[in-house]
Amino acid sequence: MREPERKPAPRAPRVLVVEDDSLVRVAICEDLREAGLSVIEAASADEALSYLGAGQPIDLVFTDIQMPGRLDGIGLARRLRARHPALPVVLTSGNAVPPDDLGGTLFLPKPYDHRRVAEIALELTGPQRREAK
C-alpha cells in the first residue's frame, strides 16, 4: 500500500523590517511574528540590500523612511521597484512623506497600530499573492 503524498507545509510569509531604532524594530518584529509571519530584521537600507543580494526570498519590505547610511527608505524603495517590481513595499515615518513617484508603495505614518501593520502584511503576502509571483 502506498503512503499518501505529503505536501510540504506552506512557509510563513517573509517580511524584511528595516528600522534603525532598535526599540521600534524589536516591537514591530515581535508583533509580526505573533501574527504568523517570518521576520528578518535590518537596521539600515544597506543591511537590507545585503540580505536581498544573498538571494533569500522576501514577500514584503516594511521600511522606515529616515535612516542613516548611504540610502534612506525612499532610496531603498526605488531600488526595490527597479529590481523587484512585484515586491510589496510599505514605507513608514513619523515626519517624512514619500514622494508621489513611488507608485505601488503603501505609506503608514508613525505612530502606527501594530495590529494594522500585521493585517496589511498578511493581506500583501497572502497565499494568492505569493503564488502569483
Please, what is the average pLDDT of the chain?
89
The domain of 99 spans 14-131
Report if residue 9 sits inside a domain. no
Report if residue 8 sits inside a domain. no
**Rounded to 5 degrees, what are φ and ψ at 15?**
-115, 125
Cell representation of residue 89: 513595499
What pTM, to 2 d.p., does this model score? 0.87
| CATH code, 60 | 3.40.50.2300
Percent of the chain's residues with pLDDT above 70: 89
Domains held by the chain: number: 1
Report if residue 6 sits inside a domain. no
In three-state secondary structure terms, 66 is coil
Report if residue 1 sits inside a domain. no
What 8-state DSSP symbol labels residue 87? S
Report if residue 21 sits inside a domain. yes
For 28-82, the pLDDT digits (tens) are: 999 999 999 999 999 999 999 999 999 888 999 999 999 988 999 999 999 999 9
Report pLDDT for 98: 80
Report if residue 42 sits inside a domain. yes
In the structure, what pLDDT confidence band is assigned to residue 102 with cuts at 50, 70 and 90? Answer: confident
| Amino acid (one-letter) located at 34 | E
Cell representation of residue 18: 528595516
Report pLDDT for 88: 95
pLDDT: is 113 or 133 the higher one?
Answer: 113
Task: Using alpha carbons, select from 36, 17, 38, 15 the residue that is nearest to residue 26.
Answer: 17
